[in-house]
């Protein structure tokens, strides 16, 4: 039996809807053996992030060494990295172990507004992580911060942002359209040559906590099982669309997406 393996390097969401918990659930659902390196703990529920406790960078390095020197992995996804020292530590280990199939989810702010990346670390994401990324998956606000563009609303602006991120080293770019206002949500995939549009009907719900984490983890799971980027992104879009459209309805705030859907 061939075991496909994926590693998430991300923050913990005690409420189980986002972060490493969402990633591991996604890996499991998509038939991939999941591993996790914790970068930060959050005290969190559907109502918000109540506290953040970053893990010391030396211990993040130790976790990456432990996993990668023994078990190895077929793909890595990074999520909440919080500060530039953590980003540099993770980038160094990704290079040291020659990790391929790296999905960079440039997590910045939780839906409730809590910062998951300090502002001064954006430059480190661009300098250290973009050039290593097989796929980067910004939503519209993240794409704006990364590119410095004033607005990204139209398809043409999405294409311009994707080109910039590709020029700065990401092999593939997926700009997620979910933060827009159209009834049809379109994500744009760019591989440096052509654009592929992935569209789905907007599902009006407040239960979208962890969608970004889940989508990026699903791409990593696809790559880990040997799919190419386009197939992996298409599978992830189907997975996240099902997860959003069958909300669990738990908690008193923004509930999690449904990984069983
Ligand atoms: N908490 C952690 C640890 C995360 O990694 C993320 C997203 O990446 C979030 C919270 C934010 O989730 P959302 O913005 O979907 O509520």
Residue 24 inside a domain? The answer is yes
Segments forming the whole domain that contains residue 91: 5-245
Q: Measuring CA to CA, which residue among 100, 112, 107 is closest to residue 20?
A: 107
| Phi-psi sector, 248: left (phi>0), alpha (psi -120 to 50), beta | alpha
Backbone φ, ψ for residue 173 (5° rounding): -125, 130
Whether ligand 1 lies within 6 angstroms of the CB of 80 is answered as: yes
List pLDDT tens digits, range 90-120: 999 999 999 999 999 999 999 889 999 999 9
- Relative to the CA of 112, which ligand 1 atom is closest? 16
| Distance from Cα 194 to the centre of ligand 1, integer Å | 30
What pLDDT sits at residue 164?
98
Residue 223 inside a domain? The answer is yes
Q: pTM of the full predicted structure? A: 0.97
Out of 8, 11, 207, mutate this one to test ligand 1's pocket (max ligand atoms within 8 Å of CB): namely 11
Residue 255 inside a domain? The answer is no
- Relative to the CA of 80, which ligand 1 atom is closest? 5
Whether ligand 1 lies within 6 angstroms of the CB of 18 is answered as: yes
ipTM exceeds 0.90: yes
Max Cα-Cα span within the chain: 50
Residue 194 inside a domain? The answer is yes
* Nearest residue (CA) to ligand 1, atom 5: 19
Write out the catalytic residue numbers.
Answer: 176, 208, 210-213
Residue 187 inside a domain? The answer is yes
What pairs with residue 16 in β-bridges? none
Whether ligand 1 lies within 6 angstroms of the CB of 211 is answered as: yes
Whether ligand 1 lies within 6 angstroms of the CB of 241 is answered as: no
Structural domain tally of the chain?
1
Residue 254 inside a domain? The answer is no
Count how many Cα atoms sit within 13 Å of the Cα of residue 215 in the half-sphere of its side chain.
Answer: 28
| CA distances for 86 relative to 37, 91, 121, 165, 212, angstroms | 12, 9, 9, 21, 20
Residue 226 inside a domain? The answer is yes
pLDDT, mean of residues 175-198: 94
List pLDDT tens digits, range 225-250: 999 999 999 999 999 999 999 999 99
- The pLDDT confidence band at residue 40, using thresholds 50, 70 and 90, is very high
Whether ligand 1 lies within 6 angstroms of the CB of 19 is answered as: yes
CATH of the domain at 158: 3.40.1190.20
List pLDDT tens digits, range 44-98: 999 999 999 999 999 999 999 999 999 999 999 999 999 999 999 999 999 999 9
Residue 252 inside a domain? The answer is no
pLDDT above 90 covers what percent of the chain? 95
| CA distances for 207 relative to 221, 243, 253, angstroms | 23, 10, 8
List of residues 6+ apart from 174 with CB closer than 8 A: 135, 136, 137, 138, 187, 188, 189, 190, 219, 233
Q: How many CB atoms lie within 10 A of CB 127?
A: 15
Task: Name the H helices within the chain.
Answer: 19-29, 57-70, 84-96, 122-124, 140-147, 155-167, 211-224, 229-245
């Amino acid at each position: 039996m061939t075991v496909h393996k994926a590693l998430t390097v991300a923050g913990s969401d005690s409420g189980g809807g986002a972060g490493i918990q969402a990633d591991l659930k996604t890996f499991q659902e998509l038939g991939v053996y999941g591993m996790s390196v914790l970068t930060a703990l959050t005290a969190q529920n559907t109502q918000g992030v109540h506290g953040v406790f970053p893990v010391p960078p030396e211990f993040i390095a130790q976790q990456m060494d432990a996993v990668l020197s023994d078990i190895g992995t077929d793909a890595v996804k990074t999520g909440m990295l919080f500060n530039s020292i953590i980003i540099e530590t993770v980038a160094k280990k990704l290079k040291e172990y020659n990790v391929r199939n790296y999905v960079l989810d440039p997590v910045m702010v939780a839906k409730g507004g809590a910062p998951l990346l300090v502002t001064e670390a954006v430059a480190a994401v661009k300098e250290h992580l973009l050039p290593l990324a097989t796929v980067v998956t910004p939503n519209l606000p993240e794409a704006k911060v990364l590119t410095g563009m004033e607005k990204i609303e139209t398809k043409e602006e999405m294409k311009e942002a994707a080109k910039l991120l590709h020029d700065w080293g990401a092999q593939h770019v997926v700009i997620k359209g979910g933060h827009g206002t159209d009834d049809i949500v379109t994500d744009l995939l760019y591989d440096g040559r052509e654009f592929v549009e992935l569209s789905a009907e907007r599902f009006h719900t407040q239960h979208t906590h962890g969608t970004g984490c889940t989508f990026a983890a699903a791409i990593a799971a696809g790559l880990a099982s040997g799919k190419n980027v386009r197939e992996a992104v298409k599978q992830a879009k189907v997975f996240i669309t099902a997860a959003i459209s069958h909300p669990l309805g738990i908690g008193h705030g923004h509930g999690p997406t449904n990984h069983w859907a």
